[in-house]
Chain A
Amino acid sequence: MVNEIYLDNAATTPVHPGVAKAVMDCMMYTYGNPSSLHRLGLNAEKKIKAAREQLAFALGDSPDSIFFTSGGTEANNLAIIGTAMARKREGKHCITTQIEHPSVLNTFKYLEKEGWEVTYLPTDNQGMLDPEDITGAVRPDTVLVSIMHVNNEIGSVQPVEDIVRLVKEKGMSPVIHVDAIQSFGKIDLKPRNWGIDILTLSGHKIHAPKGIGALYMRKGVKIHPVLWGGGQEKGVRSGTENVPGVVGFGEAVRWIEQDADKKYLYRLKGILAAGLQERIPDMVINGPAPEKGAPHILNVSFPGIRGEVLLHALEDKGVYVSTGSACSSRREAISPVFQAIGAGKEIARSAVRLSLSYMNTQDEMYRAVDIVERCVNELKGFTRR
């Protein structure tokens, strides 16, 4: 068995052993339904309360601003549809960007079909928004501005703090939603200080299990629910709470707040980027320069080598990465993000994303550089004539 070097952490992360233990204990012993009146129900409720406090502490606001969901996609749907429905009498215009995750982009596409108007802001070739563009796009009937903090494909980091300030300075009051699924736990985030109304989070990007996410909502912001039922999570998100998931999410946040050094990811990324650049000079970096982008995402192209061919060659040697686009004979779609940054077809086709987590090591970075170099050299001879 080859030694695994897992560099696909922007897709999902391995569950941290401490988190896994907390989840297991919860499933075995704290299995009550938090809505049940007996002691087992109360115990489960207490677990959720502790996790809620943990998330609130990390974000710098009170526990009643945290609402658990089934994951990032649901949180984004709830933030966008919930806001649009709650404010449809005030206006039906929303603003977002061209480089959002599908769970945001396709939710807005749905709203467009239902009669809303949506402005999709462009980015520069580094995947960065111009804050002036946003203030220029805000209109009296704009009810929602939805901006992703860190882009999942190329790692560009939007200056959300500046964006919020500029929008507020204009005297407009659209709800401001920030998709922080890629940034939470890796970049400091203080939604209340920054004036963000709604923030969306996902557990499995930070070593919690899949199937748990959360919505931060500043006090006073109102949204409509998307799921109707027993009125859990103060009616914002009905459905029996995923108690083990919530517990795992809380434990992952606790671990990161306590033990993780946010500069560590940058150090790893620096080793990887510098090593690859030195060994493979014709490598192209997609998106922002390594020190400007998110600490855990590095997107690169090796022109002439199809991304997924390299991906599979790497997996054979134990290195796991992602590509931007899938190479199928019938459908060859270039991702909207690569279109937005104006990348050519060749660059988009050969793009691979390496993404890191706190569980990676420096040694893995050095080994990954060696393996990528070897695979790239092996594949170089076979490009389409």
Chain B
Amino acid sequence: MENVILLRYGEIHLKGQNRPYFERVLQSNIEKALEAYKDVRVIKAQGRYFIENVGDDPRIYDTISRIFGIISFSPALRVAKNMEDIQEAAELQLKDAIDAQGGLNGLSFKVESRRSDKTFPLTSMELSRTIGAHLLRKFPGIKVDVHNPMVTIHIEVREWTYMYHRIIPGAGGMPVGTNGKAVLLLSGGIDSPVAGWMISKRGVELTAVHFHSFPYTSDRSKEKVIDLCRILTGYCGPIRLYVVPFTRIQQELYQKCPDKMLTLLMRRFMMKIGEIIARREEAGVLITGESLGQVASQTLESLSVTDDAVSMPVLRPLIGMDKIEIIDMAKKIDTYETSILPYEDCCTIFVPKHPLTRPRLDKVREAEALVDGKELIEDAVANAEVIEVKE
């Protein structure tokens, strides 16, 4: 009898000819995510992965729950295909379920069997019935409920027999790396990590770009962005983070351009720098955490002015979400507590008192021409610090 974890994957079933490729990427992602757990083996089976040599570190379940492409997983017992072993494992599983429920009182259960090995002497129905009857004998006081059981003991008869009662939801989505690469503009606030997470969930590999305005922001705020990246790597794998010095650009804009356009102009510069880095990284799109109407630079008019700065598509997965929904997601993916750390941000000096909400593109372009944008951008990109963030 051995402890294993059974992983289920979903959407990649749909991918027809590409399926072997998706499966290979997913297997490699699982293996990388579990690198820290010594001796663990990932085995591919029909429509499933099995993790063997699980060990007793409970954090492995958290790690698995963050791998994109896995729909759900179950800690399972693997036994030989004979009734004695199956009965014994069923007892253990039910006992575990009883402990998890906090007692046997009034507990209802059913047994559900599947048989991919059709040479097994009992049919699925017969197997369920036999094991159910055995459990009723062993645990007086529990009852069978086939419609609404509190506990379901699953039995899968394959090359071995697998038994489990817990089905833990996975992160869903598609294996990272199967859908190309994107550059995420990462601010350190609540929104942008969520935006990156959402796109990465669809199989996209991330490169992050952070704009650093020393001395208006400090090394601690940079550290915070690295921490956010580190949380994201749990889902997306290693992330290359570009920390781009942005102070000169802000100061030039502040001195030469109309006050009310400062934020918009800054956004345009960020986009342009993001695009250059994306090309260097062979990424085809940018991701931002913008949500429609949240601030002046995120009105429809402002967003089209920002879009105009680049020729690459800009993905804005949060565009239709309310702040409260974004916060809920940030909490779910564990970035919220880091995002709200109050490290100082004195860039408010560069925030206009009365920003434009309905900017005109021609006026913004005119204002932008007041600074030597090309030189400023080249200088910023040339001085970017590159940090490889791994878990």
A residues lining the B interface (CB < 8 Å): 306, 308-313, 315-316, 326-331, 379, 381-385
Contact = CB atoms under 8 A, between A and B. Distances in A.
Contact of B218 (A312, A329, A331): A312
Given A308-B218, A309-B215, A327 B259 contact: no
B215 A311 contact: yes
Nearest to B342: A328
Given A306-B349, A327-B348, A382-B350, 4 more contacts: A316-B214, A331-B342, A381-B255, A382-B251
Given A381-B255, A382-B254, A328 B345 contact: yes
A309 B346 contact: yes
Contacts, number: 47
Contact of B353 (A310, A327, A385): A385
A308 B344 contact: yes
Q: Which are the 8 A-B pairs with shortest beta-carbon distances?
A: A312-B215, A328-B342, A313-B215, A327-B344, A384-B349, A309-B346, A327-B346, A306-B346
Contact of B344 (A313, A316, A326, A384): A326
A contact face: mostly helix, strand, loop, or mixed: loop
B216 interface: yes
Contacts of A385: 259, 353
B11 to A, nearest CB: 39
Contact of B345 (A310, A313, A327, A382): A327
Nearest to B220: A312
27 contacts: A306-B346, A308-B215, A308-B218, A308-B346, A309-B215, A311-B215, A312-B217, A315-B215, A316-B214, A326-B344, A327-B345, A327-B348, A328-B342, A328-B343, A328-B344, A328-B345, A329-B345, A329-B348, A330-B342, A381-B255, A382-B251, A382-B349, A382-B350, A383-B349, A384-B348, A384-B349, A385-B259
Contacts of B348: 327, 329, 384
Contacts of A327: 344-346, 348
Nearest to A383: B349
Contacts of B254: 382
Contacts of A311: 215
Contacts of B255: 381
A327 B346 CA distance: 6
A338 B135 CA distance: 72
A309 B345 contact: no
Interface of B: 214-218, 251, 254-255, 259, 342-346, 348-350, 353
A326 B342 contact: yes
Nearest to B345: A329
Nearest to B218: A312
Contacts of A328: 342-345
Contacts of A379: 215
B38 to A, nearest CB: 33
A384 B343 CA distance: 20
A331 B255 CA distance: 28
Nearest to B255: A381
Contacts of B346: 306, 308-309, 327
Contact of A312 (B214, B251, B259, B349): B214
A331 B345 CA distance: 11
Contacts of B251: 381-382
Contacts of B218: 308, 312
B248 to A, nearest CB: 12
Contacts of A308: 215, 218, 344, 346
A65 to B, nearest CB: 41
A314 to B, nearest CB: 8
Q: In the complex, which of the residues A306, A313, A382 has the most CB atoms of chain B within 10 Å of its own CB atom? A: A382
A382 to B, nearest CB: 6
Contacts of A381: 251, 255
B383 to A, nearest CB: 14
Q: In the complex, which of the residues A327, A331, A381, A383 has the most CB atoms of chain B within 10 Å of its own CB atom? A: A327
Contacts of A315: 215
Contacts of A309: 215-216, 346, 349
B110 to A, nearest CB: 52
Contacts of B259: 385
Nearest to A314: B215
A309 B218 CA distance: 8
A383 B216 CA distance: 11
A80 to B, nearest CB: 28
A143 to B, nearest CB: 37
Nearest to A326: B344
A305 to B, nearest CB: 10
A46 B348 CA distance: 57
A308 B214 CA distance: 11
Nearest to B215: A312
A359 B324 CA distance: 52
A331 B259 CA distance: 25
A261 to B, nearest CB: 35
Nearest to B251: A382
Contacts of A316: 214-215
Nearest to B216: A309
A315 B215 CA distance: 9
B210 to A, nearest CB: 16
A259 B343 CA distance: 40
A312 B218 CA distance: 7
A142 B198 CA distance: 61
A327 B348 CA distance: 10
A382 B262 CA distance: 13
A316 B348 CA distance: 21
A383 B218 CA distance: 18
Q: In the complex, which of the residues B218, B255, B344 has the most CB atoms of chain A within 10 Å of its own CB atom? A: B344
Contacts of A384: 348-349
B151 to A, nearest CB: 46
Contacts of A310: 215
B95 to A, nearest CB: 41
A276 to B, nearest CB: 19
Nearest to A312: B215
A14 B343 CA distance: 25
A385 B257 CA distance: 13
A328 B255 CA distance: 24
Nearest to B259: A385
Nearest to A385: B259
A316 B215 CA distance: 8
Nearest to A315: B215
A311 B346 CA distance: 12
Q: In the complex, which of the residues A309, A311, A330, A383 has the most CB atoms of chain B within 10 Å of its own CB atom? A: A309
A349 B354 CA distance: 23
Q: In the complex, which of the residues A312, A313, A316, A326 has the most CB atoms of chain B within 10 Å of its own CB atom? A: A312
B371 to A, nearest CB: 15
Contacts of A312: 214-218
A195 B143 CA distance: 78
A54 to B, nearest CB: 38
A194 B387 CA distance: 58
A311 B220 CA distance: 13
